[in-house]
Amino acid sequence: NAGVTQTPKFQVLKTGQSMTLQCAQDMNHEYMSWYRQDPGMGLRLIHYSVGAGITDQGEVPNGYNVSRSTTEDFPLRLLSAAPSQTSVYFCASRMYVLGSYNEQFFGPGTRLTVL
Amino acid sequence: GQNIDQPTEMTATEGAIVQINCTYQTSGFNGLFWYQQHAGEAPTFLSYNVLDGLEEKGRFSSFLSRSKGYSYLLLKELQMKDSASYLCAVFNNAGNMLTFGGGTRLMVKP
Protein backbone atom coordinates (compact mmCIF):
# COMPACT_ATOMS: atom_id res chain seq x y z
CA ASN A 1 0.00 0.00 0.00
CA ALA A 2 1.21 3.47 -0.88
CA GLY A 3 -1.01 4.96 1.86
CA VAL A 4 -1.86 8.63 1.31
CA THR A 5 -0.01 10.32 -1.53
CA GLN A 6 0.10 14.01 -2.41
CA THR A 7 1.37 15.87 -5.43
CA PRO A 8 3.19 18.13 -5.91
CA LYS A 9 5.61 18.24 -2.95
CA PHE A 10 6.47 21.88 -3.58
CA GLN A 11 4.74 24.61 -5.57
CA VAL A 12 5.27 28.33 -6.12
CA LEU A 13 2.37 30.38 -7.48
CA LYS A 14 1.82 34.00 -8.33
CA THR A 15 -1.10 35.86 -6.82
CA GLY A 16 -4.26 35.15 -8.81
CA GLN A 17 -3.11 31.88 -10.32
CA SER A 18 -5.15 28.74 -9.87
CA MET A 19 -4.00 25.22 -9.16
CA THR A 20 -5.11 21.86 -7.84
CA LEU A 21 -3.37 19.93 -5.08
CA GLN A 22 -3.80 16.22 -5.63
CA CYS A 23 -4.46 13.65 -2.91
CA ALA A 24 -5.03 9.91 -3.32
CA GLN A 25 -5.32 6.97 -0.93
CA ASP A 26 -5.38 3.25 -1.60
CA MET A 27 -6.79 2.07 1.74
CA ASN A 28 -10.47 2.31 0.70
CA HIS A 29 -11.06 4.95 3.39
CA GLU A 30 -14.39 6.72 3.29
CA TYR A 31 -13.20 9.82 5.18
CA MET A 32 -10.71 12.22 3.61
CA SER A 33 -9.74 15.70 4.67
CA TRP A 34 -7.46 18.63 3.91
CA TYR A 35 -5.57 20.63 6.53
CA ARG A 36 -3.25 23.58 6.33
CA GLN A 37 -0.43 24.10 8.79
CA ASP A 38 1.01 27.52 9.56
CA PRO A 39 3.76 28.22 12.10
CA GLY A 40 2.40 28.24 15.65
CA MET A 41 -1.17 27.50 14.56
CA GLY A 42 -1.21 23.74 14.35
CA LEU A 43 -3.32 22.02 11.74
CA ARG A 44 -6.55 23.66 10.63
CA LEU A 45 -9.25 21.75 8.77
CA ILE A 46 -10.15 23.18 5.36
CA HIS A 47 -12.65 20.69 3.90
CA TYR A 48 -13.56 17.08 4.48
CA SER A 49 -15.53 14.29 2.86
CA VAL A 50 -17.24 11.24 4.33
CA GLY A 51 -17.64 9.48 1.00
CA ALA A 52 -17.82 9.90 -2.75
CA GLY A 53 -20.13 12.76 -3.67
CA ILE A 54 -20.22 14.17 -0.12
CA THR A 55 -18.10 17.13 1.02
CA ASP A 56 -18.36 19.65 3.82
CA GLN A 57 -16.54 22.70 5.13
CA GLY A 58 -14.05 22.70 7.96
CA GLU A 59 -12.69 25.62 10.00
CA VAL A 60 -11.05 27.61 7.18
CA PRO A 61 -12.79 26.81 3.84
CA ASN A 62 -12.68 30.25 2.19
CA GLY A 63 -10.64 30.33 -1.01
CA TYR A 64 -10.67 26.56 -1.47
CA ASN A 65 -12.91 24.15 -3.35
CA VAL A 66 -13.07 20.36 -3.18
CA SER A 67 -14.88 17.53 -4.89
CA ARG A 68 -15.00 13.77 -4.30
CA SER A 69 -15.91 11.84 -7.40
CA THR A 70 -14.19 8.62 -6.32
CA THR A 71 -13.32 7.00 -2.99
CA GLU A 72 -9.60 7.22 -3.78
CA ASP A 73 -9.17 10.88 -4.78
CA PHE A 74 -9.83 14.18 -3.01
CA PRO A 75 -8.32 17.15 -4.88
CA LEU A 76 -8.11 20.64 -3.36
CA ARG A 77 -8.51 23.59 -5.71
CA LEU A 78 -7.28 27.12 -5.22
CA LEU A 79 -9.22 29.25 -7.71
CA SER A 80 -7.29 32.50 -7.23
CA ALA A 81 -4.24 32.10 -5.04
CA ALA A 82 -3.44 34.74 -2.40
CA PRO A 83 -0.27 35.22 -0.30
CA SER A 84 -2.34 34.30 2.77
CA GLN A 85 -2.59 30.79 1.33
CA THR A 86 1.14 30.24 1.66
CA SER A 87 1.26 27.20 3.91
CA VAL A 88 1.93 23.49 4.16
CA TYR A 89 -1.08 21.43 3.10
CA PHE A 90 -1.73 17.95 4.43
CA CYS A 91 -4.26 15.46 3.15
CA ALA A 92 -5.47 12.75 5.51
CA SER A 93 -7.73 9.73 5.38
CA ARG A 94 -9.33 7.22 7.73
CA MET A 95 -12.14 4.73 7.92
CA TYR A 96 -15.40 6.43 8.79
CA VAL A 97 -17.83 5.25 11.45
CA LEU A 98 -20.09 8.00 12.77
CA GLY A 99 -19.31 8.81 16.39
CA SER A 100 -16.20 6.67 16.67
CA TYR A 101 -12.58 7.08 15.82
CA ASN A 102 -10.30 5.26 13.48
CA GLU A 103 -6.65 6.19 13.11
CA GLN A 104 -6.09 9.01 10.66
CA PHE A 105 -3.23 8.71 8.17
CA PHE A 106 -1.54 11.79 6.76
CA GLY A 107 0.10 12.34 3.41
CA PRO A 108 3.63 13.81 3.19
CA GLY A 109 2.40 17.37 2.59
CA THR A 110 2.57 20.01 -0.14
CA ARG A 111 4.55 23.17 0.55
CA LEU A 112 2.88 26.04 -1.27
CA THR A 113 4.26 29.55 -1.62
CA VAL A 114 2.16 32.32 -3.15
CA LEU A 115 4.12 35.37 -4.25
CA GLY B 1 -16.38 25.61 18.91
CA GLN B 2 -13.12 24.20 20.14
CA ASN B 3 -10.30 25.88 22.05
CA ILE B 4 -7.16 23.82 22.63
CA ASP B 5 -4.11 25.13 24.49
CA GLN B 6 -0.65 23.66 24.87
CA PRO B 7 2.76 25.19 25.57
CA THR B 8 4.63 26.42 22.52
CA GLU B 9 8.06 25.05 23.41
CA MET B 10 9.72 22.80 25.97
CA THR B 11 13.28 21.68 26.53
CA ALA B 12 14.38 18.52 28.32
CA THR B 13 17.50 16.44 28.79
CA GLU B 14 18.22 13.08 27.22
CA GLY B 15 17.20 10.26 29.59
CA ALA B 16 14.80 12.45 31.56
CA ILE B 17 10.99 12.51 31.76
CA VAL B 18 8.89 15.30 30.28
CA GLN B 19 5.17 16.04 30.57
CA ILE B 20 3.37 18.02 27.86
CA ASN B 21 0.04 19.44 28.95
CA CYS B 22 -3.05 20.16 26.89
CA THR B 23 -6.24 21.87 28.01
CA TYR B 24 -9.36 22.08 25.92
CA GLN B 25 -12.77 23.66 25.87
CA THR B 26 -15.20 22.08 23.47
CA SER B 27 -18.87 22.06 22.58
CA GLY B 28 -18.66 18.33 22.04
CA PHE B 29 -16.05 15.74 22.97
CA ASN B 30 -15.50 12.25 21.66
CA GLY B 31 -11.83 11.63 22.32
CA LEU B 32 -8.41 13.26 22.57
CA PHE B 33 -5.42 12.41 20.46
CA TRP B 34 -1.71 13.02 20.52
CA TYR B 35 0.36 13.14 17.34
CA GLN B 36 4.10 13.45 16.86
CA GLN B 37 5.48 15.52 14.02
CA HIS B 38 9.15 15.74 13.11
CA ALA B 39 10.25 18.85 11.27
CA GLY B 40 9.29 18.72 7.61
CA GLU B 41 7.29 15.54 7.99
CA ALA B 42 3.64 14.52 8.36
CA PRO B 43 2.06 13.95 11.80
CA THR B 44 2.01 10.38 13.06
CA PHE B 45 -0.45 8.97 15.57
CA LEU B 46 0.77 8.40 19.15
CA SER B 47 -2.24 7.86 21.40
CA TYR B 48 -5.98 8.13 21.85
CA ASN B 49 -7.97 8.66 25.07
CA VAL B 50 -11.74 8.64 25.22
CA LEU B 51 -12.20 7.63 28.89
CA ASP B 52 -10.58 9.17 31.96
CA GLY B 53 -7.30 7.72 33.05
CA LEU B 54 -3.86 6.78 31.84
CA GLU B 55 -3.04 4.92 28.63
CA GLU B 56 0.50 3.54 28.46
CA LYS B 57 2.33 2.58 25.30
CA GLY B 58 6.00 1.87 25.79
CA ARG B 59 7.90 5.03 26.70
CA PHE B 60 4.85 7.18 26.00
CA SER B 61 1.76 7.56 28.21
CA SER B 62 -1.28 9.78 27.82
CA PHE B 63 -3.71 10.89 30.52
CA LEU B 64 -7.20 12.34 30.22
CA SER B 65 -9.54 14.07 32.66
CA ARG B 66 -12.78 14.93 30.86
CA SER B 67 -14.24 16.84 33.83
CA LYS B 68 -11.20 19.14 33.87
CA GLY B 69 -10.77 19.37 30.09
CA TYR B 70 -7.17 18.30 30.58
CA SER B 71 -4.73 15.86 29.09
CA TYR B 72 -1.02 15.27 29.23
CA LEU B 73 1.52 13.28 27.25
CA LEU B 74 4.32 11.77 29.30
CA LEU B 75 7.57 10.81 27.61
CA LYS B 76 10.01 8.71 29.61
CA GLU B 77 13.70 7.93 29.01
CA LEU B 78 13.94 10.73 26.49
CA GLN B 79 15.99 10.13 23.38
CA MET B 80 17.38 12.65 20.94
CA LYS B 81 14.98 11.35 18.30
CA ASP B 82 12.07 12.49 20.48
CA SER B 83 12.88 16.08 19.46
CA ALA B 84 9.71 16.93 17.53
CA SER B 85 6.43 18.78 17.79
CA TYR B 86 3.63 17.11 19.75
CA LEU B 87 0.11 17.93 18.68
CA CYS B 88 -2.95 17.61 20.91
CA ALA B 89 -6.23 17.14 19.01
CA VAL B 90 -9.87 16.80 20.04
CA PHE B 91 -12.46 14.73 18.19
CA ASN B 92 -15.91 16.29 18.18
CA ASN B 93 -19.05 14.40 19.11
CA ALA B 94 -20.38 14.30 15.58
CA GLY B 95 -17.30 12.33 14.70
CA ASN B 96 -16.51 14.43 11.70
CA MET B 97 -13.76 16.79 12.81
CA LEU B 98 -10.41 16.47 14.50
CA THR B 99 -9.37 19.90 15.83
CA PHE B 100 -5.70 20.46 16.62
CA GLY B 101 -3.92 22.65 19.12
CA GLY B 102 -0.94 24.73 18.06
CA GLY B 103 1.55 22.02 18.98
CA THR B 104 4.43 21.88 21.48
CA ARG B 105 7.95 21.84 20.10
CA LEU B 106 10.11 19.64 22.29
CA MET B 107 13.88 19.95 22.14
CA VAL B 108 15.88 17.14 23.74
CA LYS B 109 19.43 18.13 24.69
CA PRO B 110 22.35 15.80 25.49
> Which of A59, A99, A106 lies at the smallest CB-CB distance from B43?
A106
Chain A residues inside the 8 Å CB shell of B48: 101, 103
| C-alpha pair distances (Å), B44 with each of A12, A77, B33, B37, B88 | 26, 25, 11, 6, 12
Chain B residues inside the 8 Å CB shell of A36: none
Distance from CA of B13 to the nearest CA of A (A): 23
The torsion defined by the Cα of B4, B9, B11 and B15, in degrees rounded to 10, comes to: 40
| Sign for the pseudo-dihedral over CA of A91, A88, A63, A46 | positive
The answer, for B29 touching chain A at a CB cutoff of 8 Å, is: no
The answer, for A36 touching chain B at a CB cutoff of 8 Å, is: no
Chain-chain contact of B50 with A42 (C-beta, under 8 angstroms): no
Buried b (16+ CB within 10 A) or exposed e, A28-65: ebbbbbbbbbeeeebbbbbbbbbebeebeebbbbeebe
Angle at B71 between CA B68 and CA B72, to 5 degrees: 140
pLDDT in tens, B23-65: 999 877 888 999 999 999 999 999 999 999 999 989 999 999 9
pLDDT in tens, A70-100: 999 999 999 999 999 999 999 999 988 766 6
Chain-chain contact of A56 with B31 (C-beta, under 8 angstroms): no
Contact partners, residue A2, CB within 8 Å, separation at least 6:
A24, A26
Chain-chain contact of A100 with B95 (C-beta, under 8 angstroms): yes
Can you give the pLDDT at residue A70? 96
The answer, for A41 touching chain B at a CB cutoff of 8 Å, is: yes
Ranges of chain A whose pLDDT falls below 50: none
State percent of chain B over pLDDT 90.
Answer: 81
Can you give the pLDDT at residue B91? 86
| pLDDT, average across residues B59-81 | 97
Asked if the model's pLDDT at residue B94 lies above 70, the reply is: no
